[in-house]
Structure 1
Amino acid sequence: MDNPVASAAAPERPEFAQWLNSLDVDQAQTAANVLAMAELLGAFVTVKSLANGRYVYASKGMDMLFERVESTIAGSTDADLMRIDEVQAMRRVEQAVMAQGHAVLSEHRMELGGRRREFSVARMALGGEHVMALWTERTDERHRETHLQRALQQIEQQQKTMEQLRRELQQGSGRDDVSGLYLRAQFDDQLLREIDLSTREHREFALVLIALDPLPPANAELGEEAQQRMLEGMGRMLRANTRAMDAACRVGPHHFAVLLSGVGLATAHARMEQLRRQCIAQIIVLNGHDLGLSLSMGVASFPHTASKQEELLHASQTAVQEAQRRGGNQVVLAPIPFATEI
């Protein structure tokens, strides 16, 4: 009795229908469903007999790949289509599929039509006599990856050159060697001056504390050099996004502070949110890896959040910790206390 799945799945390919008829109903249904979904996604599909090494089915995409315009590769063997080293690679993976009893994904490079092409091939056993393979071409994707790596290498070299020039220019300036920003001592002096000026002139300013979020595990393994690149990148971003009247400083191993002169809480929040977004888009490269720059920020305002130096620092530090508690990559405003009447 004919398998109903076979006649529904591939009436135009008798050799494939014959193969499906050799399977039980469940196997045939699975095979037909996988083939239909794969071809909708543009994958090339083959089914090969292990008994004689011949393809019993090949989607039209495979026929075009091997330049079979008026025929199909069904009935052919790998030796009819490929070089000997490519045939051997195919055979090794098929043997692994049958031995392991589960799907196996492999990568293959082939010379087709005078062009080097790359494929990801997922294989699974169908019964004990056939192997189904889904071919996905990766040639253009691999080319894009290669171009991206070259671009990242160029960016990395440019960043190294810029940082070396910066260090040479700022020698003896009292700035941090790594970030190029003022150090904690200058920050404390500037904060006192800003409090005094704002008190006398009855104006406000904002204090922003910034913490570098931890690197993702894959990048954290790059070690101290990765941390240095992050600090350099943070320095570049703060120097480019603060005014001459502001003060950007490195106040700890992974912490920074920014004084925004004459700026209120709402404006400070908007500016730091813009900086956060720019930092996410910033490319910081080490050994071909984009490290990513993620920040947690706490924004406090004088005199609305606090009117004393210690209280202002504490408020912004608490806001930073809250940003980190929420998972990082956040800008958190310190709350404005409201006096209660007795």
Structure 2
Amino acid sequence: MDTSAALHSGASPQASDAWFASLSLADHELANGVLGLVEPLGLLVTVKSLATGRYVHGSAGMAALFERHEAGIVGAGDNELMRPDEVLAMRRAEQAVMAQRTVVVSEHRLELGGRRREFAVTRVPLGGEHVMAMWAERTEERHRETHLQRALNQIEQQQKALEQIRREMQQGSGRDDVSGLYLRAQFDDQLLREIDLSTREHREFALVLIALDPASAAIQALGPEAHQRMLEGLGRMLRANTRAMDAACRVGEHTFAVLLSGVGLATAHARMEQLRRQCTAQIVVLNGQDLGLSLSMGVASFPHTASKQDELLKASETAVQEAQRRGGNQVVLAPIPFGNLG
């Protein structure tokens, strides 16, 4: 690319030539390289003289931005292109660059053609009298972020309403107020019944323990309500992904248990892996922020893993701990003792 042509941008050759002529050979090569890299990427490039407050270089995209296709922006000042408040914001950013003598990134909103457009502008000092700026438009990106935030807020309100309705319907039902699942006492009774039934009918069942993985520091900073929202979300997922013959219960502050009646170890693992993936994709919102659901699961089977209640529980607990030791967000099968094979 011809550097002088790029710097002139079809406008005021005297102003641009004066700046360009002041560059050393190394500066010429650097300017050529920078412009050759950034302009094809859609970035808009300017160089401004701080002594005069006028542009000595503006890429073709900058001229189009301000609808100065023929004249370009070389030789123009911000007060000819922008509103007074926008000019002031530009001046402050340039002063910060020269004071810090380093790269500074700032956000700018401009009213152009009756539409507000947003830019991230990266500035770097060139010597003591010029500032180079690279403009990247963020308007569509900001619009997408705004729409996403509105959608998350709507989901949050819907989740709140559904949980309130559920609580009102379940009052006095013996279920956990937060997750909507049965409590530890009901789980213990159901586990004993399942062991008795499976023993008499010579069939399998699976026991799955599920633990919420530790939340990130950002989620923890949201306080107890964030933890409650995640418990509510996990409760919804378990209710939606278990059969009437199964039993899903909350058995601890961070732990849940699922009894999968008549299900072997391989099938239980496949179902829990599917549940884990669904939970990972589930949107759980608090204050417009997606909390996410990360789970560790331990799967044990009766009678292959263990044939006694306490041994079965211990095996699934050990498997959960192993899942968390491996980093969480995964399903681990409890090992089958050698004597139980065959």
> Which TM bucket (shorter chain)?
over 0.9
Aligned to 1:139: 139
Query: How far did residue 36 of structure 1 move?
Result: 2.1
Q: Give the root-mean-square deviation of aligned CA atoms.
A: 1.9
Deviations 1:137-192 (A, max 9, x none): 11111111111111111111111110000000011100000000000111111111
In structure 1, C-alpha distance between the alignment counterparts of 2:5 and 2:296, rounded to whole Å? 58
2:310 counterpart residue number: 310
Q: How many residues align?
A: 338
- Following superposition of structure 1 onto structure 2, how do residues 32-51 of structure 1 map, counting pairs within 5 Å? 32-51=32-51
Partner of 2:161: 161
1:320-331 → structure 2 map (5 Å cutoff): 320-331=320-331
Contact (CA 8 Å) 2:9, 2:72: kept in 1 or not? no
CA contact 1:210–1:257 (8 Å) conserved in 2: yes
Cα distance in 2 between the residues matched to 1:34 and 1:252:
59
Quick check: 1:6–1:18 contact (8 Å CA) kept in 2?
Answer: no
How far apart, in 2, do the equivalents of 1:61 and 1:9 lie? 11
Q: Which residue of 1 aligns with 2:211?
A: 211
* TM-aligned CA deviation for residue 340 of structure 1: 9.9
| Equivalent residue runs for 1:234-253 within 5 Å | 234-253=234-253
Identity of aligned residues (%): 76
Does structure 1 conserve the Cα–Cα contact (< 8 Å) formed by 2:7 and 2:57?
no
142-151 vs 94-103, greater mean Cα deviation: 142-151
1:105/1:11 CA distance change after superposition, 3 Å: closer
Counterpart-to-counterpart distance in 2, 1:27 and 1:307:
79
Spell out, residue by residue over 1:223-273, the C-alpha distance to the aligned partner (whole angstroms, 9 max, x if none).
Answer: 000001000001000000000000000000010000001111111111111
Counterparts of residues 94-105 of structure 1 (less than 5 Å): 94-105=94-105
Partner of 1:271: 271
Equivalent-residue separation in structure 2 for 1:117 and 1:287 (angstroms) = 27
Q: What's the CA shift string for 1:193-227, capped at 9, x where partnerless?
A: 11111111111111110010122221211000000
**Paired position in structure 1 for 2:124:** 124
| TM-score, length basis structure 1 | 0.94
Partner SS, residue 209 of structure 1: strand
Secondary structure of 2:338's counterpart equals coil
Partner of 1:82: 82
Distance 1:310 1:154 in 2: 45
> Structure 2: any 5+ residue segments left out of the alignment?
none
State the alpha-carbon separation in 2 of the partners of residues 63 and 106 from structure 1: 21
- TM superposition outliers: structure 1 runs of 4+ over 6 Å: none
Residues 5 and 28, structure 1, Cα contact 8 Å, conserved in 2? no
User: Which SS does the other structure have where 1:231 is aligned?
Assistant: helix
- Contact 1:27-1:126 at 8 Å conserved across structures: no
How far off its partner does 1:314 sit?
A: 0.9
Alpha-carbon distance change, 70 to 195 in structure 1, aligned in 2, over 3 angstroms: same
Confirm or deny that 1:106 pairs with 2:106: yes
Calculate the TM-score normalised by the size of structure 2: 0.94
Partner Cα separation in structure 2 for residue 117 and residue 11 of structure 1: 26
